[in-house]
Amino acid sequence: MGTVVSVRLNGGLTDAGGPVLRHAARAAVAGVFDRWDDRFSLYRPGSELSRVASGAIRLPNASRELRDCYALALDWRDRTDGVFTPHRGDGVIDLSGIVKALAIVEAGSALESLGQKAWSINAGGDILVSGCPNVTFARRLDPNVDPDWVVALVNPLDRLDLLATVPLRAPLRAVATSGSAERGDHIWTPAPGIRSPFRQVSVLAADIVTADVLATAIVAGGEPMLNQCAATYEIEVLAVLQGGGLLATPGLRR
C-alpha cells in the first residue's frame, strides 16, 4: 500500500507472550495487508481491481469481497453527499480510500485470534487500538489507573513539531489523518481545480473505517463537511488550515 505498518503488543514494554507470539503476530498482520494489497492495488496490473478497471473482469463477476467493499464505499458516498467517492475522475473504481482501514480491522481480528487483547496497529498514520497498554507495568506505579494508548498529531508545517498528544479513550479508539502534507494534493474535491482549505485533518472515532473515510471527506469538502460530520457522528476533529490555523472540535480543544 506504499506505506509502513507497525504493530505494538502491550505497548512494547512487556514480553507480550514471548518471541513466538510476536513472530506469529507479525506474520498474521503482514499476511492480511499483503492479501488486501494483492486484490485492491491499482498499481499492480494483476490485482483483481486492476483487472476490473481494465475490463478484463466485469464488476458483477468480481469476488464477493471486492463487491462488498465497493458497496460499503458507495454507502459512505451517500452518507457524505458524494464528497467521499470510490471513483476516480476518469470513472475507474478506486477503493484506496477504504481498503487500508478494512485491512487494519482484519489485522486486529487476526491479533485477537492469537489471544492478544492489547494492541495498536498503525498503518501510515491511521491507528486502531484495543485494550490498555502495559497494564501490569502501569499498575505497579498506580494500582487505580489504567493507562491509555496515546497518539501524537504532527504539525504538517513542521514535521518535527507536535500539535497535540491525544489519549485514545473509549469510545474513540481510532484515529486517521488525511491531507496533502505527506503525499501532496491527492484528494479530489467536489469542485475540480479548487484546492482544499485544509492541509491536514485528523479524525478520532470509535472505528477506523469511520475515522478514515471522514478524514478524507473533510479534506475534500472543507469546513461545511467538517461541521456536518461533527454534527452527525461521535467524532473529534483537528483540522489544519493551509495557512497554519487550527479548527478543533470541543473534545480536542480540551
pLDDT in tens, the chain (254 residues): 889 999 998 744 445 457 778 889 999 999 999 999 999 999 999 999 999 999 999 999 999 999 999 999 999 999 999 999 999 989 999 999 999 999 999 999 999 999 888 999 999 999 999 998 876 655 666 666 667 899 999 999 998 999 999 999 999 999 999 986 555 554 555 555 678 899 999 999 999 999 999 999 999 999 999 999 999 999 999 999 999 999 999 998 88
pTM for this predicted structure = 0.89
Nearest alpha-carbon partner for 225 in 110, 117, 80: 80
Nearest alpha-carbon partner for 121 in 11, 10, 8: 8
| pLDDT value for 89 | 86
The DSSP bridge partners found for residue 4 are none
Q: What are phi and psi of 161, to 5 degrees?
A: -110, 145
| pLDDT value for 183 | 53
Please state, in angstroms and rounded to a whole number, the distance separating the CA atoms of residues 183 and 161. 18
Q: Where are the alpha helices (DSSP H) in the chain?
A: 18-40, 48-54, 64-79, 96-113, 135-141, 208-232, 250-253
The CATH number fitting domain 5-248, selected from 3.10.520.10, 3.30.590.10, 3.30.70.120, 3.30.70.250: 3.10.520.10
| pLDDT value for 196 | 87
| Domain edges within the chain | 5-248
Which grid cell is 173?
479508539
CB 188 within 8 A of CB 89: yes
Q: Is 217 helix (H, G, I), strand (E, B) or coil?
A: helix
Report the alpha-carbon angle 41-47-52, nearest 5.
Answer: 95
Distances (CA, A) of 147 to 118, 120, 131, 136: 11, 13, 10, 10
DSSP for 55-87?
TSS-GGGS-HHHHHHHHHHHHHHHHTTTSS-SB
